[in-house]
Every structure is written in C-alpha cells, then in structure tokens.
C-alpha cells in the first residue's frame, strides 16, 4: 500500500483530507517542517502532499519551499503542492524545483485524488523505465542560450545520476556510460563532482 | 569752522533722511508682518482642510491676495487624482515645476507688481505654498501606500484562513457523500471532534479580524471560562512545551478569551520556531472580582517591546501585526489591561481582567480537548 505524507498545518482541513485519502492509502501526517522531516527519515513514504504556508510563516511559501527542496534532494519523492499561496513566484519555484503538481486551495478532493493517481502512475512508469535502463532525468535550461549549455547540463545530470547509482565507482560508471575511465575523470573534474556531494544527495 | 557750518546746513537733511528711513522700515515691517500672517493663515487653512489639497487650494486665492499676488494657477497630479486651475494669459507670471515618479506639481502665480522689493514678499508666499502642497501630497501618498500595504497584508492573512476553511468544507462534502460502514462513520466523527476546536479558533480569528475597529455591544452567550484550562488547551494545540497553573474563571463570551490568549500563545509559538527548546509558563491568580494571568517564555528578549501592541507593527516577515493589538483591544473593552515586558525570566505578558457577573444564561465550563 502506498504511504502518503500529508504536510498541512490546519488540523481541521488535514483531518478531512486524511479521511478521504485513508480509503485507499496509508496516511502519515505532519503539521510542521520538523515533524515532516522526522517522518520522512523514519517511515517509508512514497508520495508527499505539501502545504507551502507552514509555521512559523503561514502566510508566505518559504517554509514549504524549503521542505520541498529537502524532500526532492534527499528522497526523490513525487510532491504535490497543495496550497493557498497563489503567487506566481511560488508556483514557478515549486515547478522549477521539481514538484509534480501545484494545486491552489480550494480544490475539489476529486482533483487532489486525480493528481495523486497521476503521481503514482508517473513514479511507477519511471521506475519501470529505470529497470529497463532508461532513467528520467529532468533539468532546466535557458533555450535562448543555444545548445551548448543544454548539452553540458544534460551531461552533468546523467553523469551525476550514474555516479550516484554506482556509489561513485568510476570503473562501473564508465562502463555504464560507455566511456573510458580517463574521459569520466575529465568530466568529474569538469563538473567538480566529489564523493561527499554524492553521499549528501542519496 | 567749516565743519560746523556744514553740519548746520545738513541738519535738516539728516532729520528728513532719518524720517524717510524710519517710514520705509515701518512699511517693510508692515509688509513682512502681512506676509507672515498670510503664511500662518495658509498653514491654518491647510490644517483645517485636513491636509487635503483638493479642499485647500480653492481657499488659497483669497488668502494670498493681500500678499501682492493677484492669482494662483496649478496643474497637480498624484496617484489617480489631478487638480487643475489654468492661469490667465498674463505675461508676468512666476512658475515652478516638479515631476517625481509618484506625483507632479506645476504651480504658478501672477504677482500684482512683479518688480522691486515686493518680489521678496510674494516669493516667500509662493515658496511656502509650494512646500505645503508638496508636503500634503507626500503625506497622502505615504498614508495611501501604508493603507494599501496593510490592506494587502490583511487580505493575505484572511485569504489563508478563508481558503483553508473553504477547503475544509469541500473535504467535508466529499467525505460525507462517501462514508460507508459504521467503522468509517465512527472515524469520521472522531476526526470532526478533533477538528472542532481548531476550526473554532480559525473562524473566530477570521471574524475578529474583520471586526477590528468595529464597535459593537455583544450580549448573551456568556459562559464561565476556566482560563488555566484554556491556556493548557492552546499550548497543546500549538505543540508548545508549556505549563499552566493556578485557578481562575471569568464570565464572558468564550471566543473573546480564545482570541486574547490565542494571540499571546501564537507569539510564543512563532518564537519557538526560531528558538527551539524554549518553554512557557502561565499562572492564573484569582483576586476579588478580577483575575490576573501571567504568561512568559524562556526565550530571548524582544527588541522594541513597547511597540508590540501597535497595529500593523511586526518584526516577522510574514506577520500582519494585528494579533496582539486585537488581544489588548478586547482586553480593554472588557475593562481589563494587558502589558508586556522583557523580564529576568523572559518575555512576560500580564493580563488582568474583571471576573464578570454570572448571568442566568451563563453556561458551566466545558472540557474541550484541543489536538494538533
């Protein structure tokens, strides 16, 4: 069964969303960043629904965005933003960071359920493709700046992912990437990858 | 001999010259006094018009006539307003223009006699008038900007709460249509019970925010509120490590008590986010006809603590700055007082309230469990 982490500071609203989700999923809940981090590190969470306006700054998205970055960098989960923050910058920042969806309150619970189902479908498909050797790597580039920066960004992301998957084993990574070890050392130097960086981003 | 003769012949001339100089001096003094009087009258008129140039400018023409100014004309723009009075086609005019991003002033005068010493008189008036107009505009822009900023903060604050309440209703409708089986029904009721206190706090907060500054006499719904128990519930609701001791009840509408202590305790919660591990203590003391509540936290002192009850004053980036203002406003309306101070043990709030009179319809205290 999927385990969803519902991060929402409003007790009443959280109880209603929890009740709706509980019919199909196991639900863990957190009212603030500290509790969410604790649950993420102690439970096997498969998807997160995140309110951006969290204490102590309920009226700004800063706490939620901080938590979003933490989840994406450390757990790679699909995160659905479920927030009252209708600011363009918060939406842009969330999507740019890699949030799966951005739902502005109030939305129908059907819409939230639909988003949850799509997130699970995407995650499953990506996992399936990954098992077949196809990894989904997303990266942002400024189109107007030509192909070279996009190529560099793509190379950087692919190499980073492979190094991470092989636990910084250069021999295995070079083999997987189909390049000579010398070439891989060149890229490691070029992009400034260090073993600590890989370890910090499991 | 020659000098004496010269002095004798000039004697009359010196007397006449001295007399003329005195007349000129008195005349200049008269003119200057008149100019200063006009200046003072303009300042008074501006004040009487409540610093509103739209009201003030039509009154200026009559005031300046005595100060060698025949007419004034202007083209003034600020915000969405434009004030205009075209000048006559006279050649001898004095004008001054200023254009800033938020406003522009184009002011002109037609002097009665543009030459000579009178120029100093009407120029004093002209400069004073220009200064008054610019000050009024700047004041208006500042007030309008502050009001817009506060309105936008208020809107953000309310929107956050209203959206959550609306989302709660949407969730409630979705769930109520789909409940099946006694086990789910039971759980739904349990969840609703959990939600009620938080929902009450939120809706009370929305209402009291909308009612800031609205004076109304509410009657009825009074009940006996156990203050220590209410504070304990709020500590639990906000997940604050706190202790509430002592005993004291007050007869009033419960939502008022919730708003007062909710705003104090929320302040502590926000602080505990920045200073993890701080603790809070509350003591309730019942005296004859009144109760005193002391709430303090073990965190760091607050800068500018004397401004904490000022409306829209906040030290937090996302704060609105009305919570404590609202809490003290309600306390005072109930005949009590609220103070805050940095003390040796921490930031200390003292709330004193009259106990109230038990009316026939007062309800007994209810045990409510708040959960987060």
- The confidence score (pLDDT) of residue B76 equals 93
Residues of B in contact with A60 (CB under 8 A): 317-318
Query: A17 CB near a chain B CB, below 8 Å?
Result: yes
Q: In terms of CATH architecture, what is A143-200? A: Orthogonal Bundle (1.10)
Q: Could you state, in order of their start, the residue ranges of all structural domains in chain B?
A: 20-144, 220-354
When pLDDT is cut at 50, 70 and 90, the band that residue B340 belongs to is very high
Burial of B360 (0-12, 13-18, 19+ CB in 10 A): exposed
**How far from the centroid of its chain's Cα atoms is residue B10's Cα?**
71
The Cα–Cα gap between A165 and A175 comes to: 13
CA contacts within 13 A on the Cβ side of B214? 8
Q: Which of A87-91, A120-124, B75-79, B165-169 has the lowest mean pLDDT?
A: A87-91
Fold of domain B220-354: Heat Shock Protein 90 (3.30.565)
Burial of B137 (0-12, 13-18, 19+ CB in 10 A): buried
Contact: B318, A23; criterion CB under 8 Å: no
Contact: B270, A12; criterion CB under 8 Å: no
- The confidence score (pLDDT) of residue A202 equals 41
Contact: B273, A12; criterion CB under 8 Å: no
Residues of A in contact with B167 (CB under 8 A): 13, 16, 84, 105-107
Quote the longest CA-to-CA distance of chain A.
58
Whether the per-residue pLDDT at A23 is higher than 60: the answer is yes
- The confidence score (pLDDT) of residue A136 equals 63
Q: Which of B171, B237, B320 sits opposite A20 (nearest CB)?
A: B171
- Cα–Cα distances (Å) from B171 to A161, B119, B176, B204, in that order, read 40, 76, 8, 20
Query: A16 CB near a chain B CB, below 8 Å?
Result: yes
- The confidence score (pLDDT) of residue B106 equals 93
More confident residue, B5 or A190: A190
Residues of chain A with CATH 3.40.50.2300: 3-131
Contact: A12, B316; criterion CB under 8 Å: no
Mean pLDDT across the stretch A62-74?
91
Q: B228 and B234 in contact (C-beta within 8 Å)?
A: no
Peptide bond into A56 cis (omega under 30): yes
Q: B86 and B73 in contact (C-beta within 8 Å)?
A: yes
Residue B107: CB atoms within 10 Å: 22
Chain segment B257-310, per-residue pLDDT in tens:
888 998 898 888 888 777 878 889 999 998 888 899 999 998 888 888 888 888
Handedness of CA B134, B136, B139, B141 (dihedral sign): negative
β-sheet bridge partners, residue B353 = B291
The Cα–Cα gap between B311 and B320 comes to: 9
- Torsion angle of C-alpha atoms A199, A120, A83, B258, degrees rounded to 10: -90
Q: Which of residues 21-40 of A touch B (CB under 8 A)?
A: 22-23, 31-32
ipTM: 0.73
When pLDDT is cut at 50, 70 and 90, the band that residue B360 belongs to is very low
Query: How would DSSP label each residue in B215-239?
Result: -----S-EEEEEHHHHHHHHHHHTT
Mean pLDDT across the stretch B219-231?
83
Nearest CA in chain A to B167: A106
Q: Which of B156, B171, B318 sits opposite A109 (nearest CB)?
A: B171
Contact: A15, B157; criterion CB under 8 Å: no
Q: Which of A21-25, B98-102, B222-226, B271-275 has the lowest mean pLDDT?
A: B271-275
Query: How would DSSP label each residue in B173-199?
Result: HHHHTT--SHHHHHHHHHHHHHHHHHH
The Cα–Cα gap between B324 and B312 comes to: 10
Contact: B202, A19; criterion CB under 8 Å: no
The Cα–Cα gap between B299 and B230 comes to: 22
Q: CA B61, B65, B66 angle in degrees (round to 5)? A: 140
Query: B11 CB near a chain A CB, below 8 Å?
Result: no
When pLDDT is cut at 50, 70 and 90, the band that residue A49 belongs to is very high
Which of B154, B155, B169, B170 to mutate to probe the A interface, most A CBs <10 Å? B170
- The confidence score (pLDDT) of residue A141 equals 65
* Chain A nearest CA to B323, separation (Å): 14
Q: Which of A10, A32, A59 sits opposite B318 (nearest CB)?
A: A59
Residues 6+ apart with CB under 8 A from B320: A59, B153, B154, B156, B157, B312, B314
How many pairs of residues across A and B have Cβ atoms under 8 Å apart? 102
Residues of B in contact with A7 (CB under 8 A): none
When pLDDT is cut at 50, 70 and 90, the band that residue A35 belongs to is very high
* Chain A nearest CA to B260, separation (Å): 19
- The confidence score (pLDDT) of residue B364 equals 44
Residues 6+ apart with CB under 8 A from A26: A1, A2, A3, A4
Contact: A106, B166; criterion CB under 8 Å: yes
Mean pLDDT value across chain A:
86
Q: Is the CATH code 3.40.50.2300 the one for domain A3-131?
A: yes
More confident residue, B314 or B295: B295
If we measure between CA atoms, which residue out of B269, B328, B319 comes closest to residue B299?
B269
- The confidence score (pLDDT) of residue B216 equals 58
The Cα–Cα gap between A29 and A14 comes to: 8
Nearest CA in chain B to A29: B372
The Cα–Cα gap between B342 and B301 comes to: 6
* Chain B nearest CA to A138, separation (Å): 32
When pLDDT is cut at 50, 70 and 90, the band that residue B218 belongs to is low
């Amino acid at each position: 069964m999927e385990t969803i982490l519902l991060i929402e500071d409003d007790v009443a609203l959280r109880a209603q969303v929890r009740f709706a989700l509980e019919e199909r999923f196991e639900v863990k809940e957190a009212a603030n960043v500290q509790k969410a981090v604790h649950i993420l590190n102690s439970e096997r969470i498969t998807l997160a629904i995140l309110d951006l306006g969290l204490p102590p700054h309920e009226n700004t998205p800063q706490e939620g965005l901080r938590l979003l970055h933490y989840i994406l960098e450390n757990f790679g989960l699909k995160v659905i933003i479920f927030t009252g923050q209708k600011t363009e910058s918060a939406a842009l920042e969330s999507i740019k960071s890699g949030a799966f969806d951005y739902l502005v309150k109030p939305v129908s619970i059907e819409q939230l359920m639909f988003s949850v189902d799509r997130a699970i479908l995407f995650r499953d498909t990506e996992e399936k493709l990954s098992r077949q050797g196809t990894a989904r790597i997303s990266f942002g580039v400024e189109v107007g700046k030509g192909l070279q920066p996009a190529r560099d960004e793509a190379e950087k992301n692919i190499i980073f992912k492979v190094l991470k998957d092989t636990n910084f084993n250069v021999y295995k990574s070079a083999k997987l990437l189909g390049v000579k070890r010398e070439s891989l050392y060149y890229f490691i130097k070029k992009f400034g990858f260090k073993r600590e960086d890989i370890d910090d981003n499991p | 001999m020659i000098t004496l003769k010269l002095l004798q012949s000039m004697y009359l001339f010196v007397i006449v010259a001295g007399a003329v100089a005195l007349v000129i001096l008195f005349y200049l003094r008269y003119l200057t006094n008149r100019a200063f009087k006009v200046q003072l009258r303009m300042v008074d008129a501006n004040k009487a018009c409540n610093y509103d140039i739209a009201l003030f400018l039509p009154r200026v023409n009559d005031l300046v006539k005595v100060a060698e100014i025949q007419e004034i004309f202007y083209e003034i723009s600020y915000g969405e307003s434009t004030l205009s009075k075209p000048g006559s086609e006279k050649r001898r005019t004095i004008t001054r223009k200023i254009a800033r991003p938020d406003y522009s002033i184009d002011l002109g005068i037609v002097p009665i006699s543009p030459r000579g010493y009178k120029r100093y008189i009407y120029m004093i008036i002209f400069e004073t008038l220009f200064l008054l107009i610019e000050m009024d505009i700047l004041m208006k822009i500042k007030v309008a900007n502050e009001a817009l900023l506060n309105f936008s903060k208020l809107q953000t604050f309310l929107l956050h709460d209203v959206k959550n309440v609306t989302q709660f209703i949407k969730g409630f409708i979705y769930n109520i249509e789909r409940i099946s089986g006694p086990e789910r029904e039971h759980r739904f009721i349990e969840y609703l019970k959990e939600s009620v206190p938080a929902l009450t706090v939120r809706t009370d907060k929305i209402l009291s925010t909308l009612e800031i500054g609205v004076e109304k006499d509410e009657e009825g719904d009074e009940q006996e509120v156990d203050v220590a128990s209410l504070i304990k519930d709020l500590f639990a609701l906000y997940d604050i490590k706190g202790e509430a001791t002592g005993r004291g009840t007050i007869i009033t509408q419960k939502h008022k008590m919730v708003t007062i202590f909710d705003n104090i305790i929320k302040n502590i919660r926000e602080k505990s986010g920045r200073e993890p591990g701080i603790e809070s203590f509350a003591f309730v003391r019942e005296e004859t006809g009144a109760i005193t509540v002391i709430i303090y936290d073990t965190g760091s002192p607050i800068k500018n603590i004397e401004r904490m009850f000022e409306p829209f004053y906040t030290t937090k980036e996302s704060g609105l700055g009305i919570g404590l203002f609202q809490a003290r406003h309600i306390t005072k309306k109930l005949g009590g007082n609220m103070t805050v101070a940095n003390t040796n043990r921490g930031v200390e709030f003292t709330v004193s309230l009259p106990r109230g009179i038990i009316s026939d319809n007062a309800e007994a205290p209810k045990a409510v469990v708040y959960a987060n």
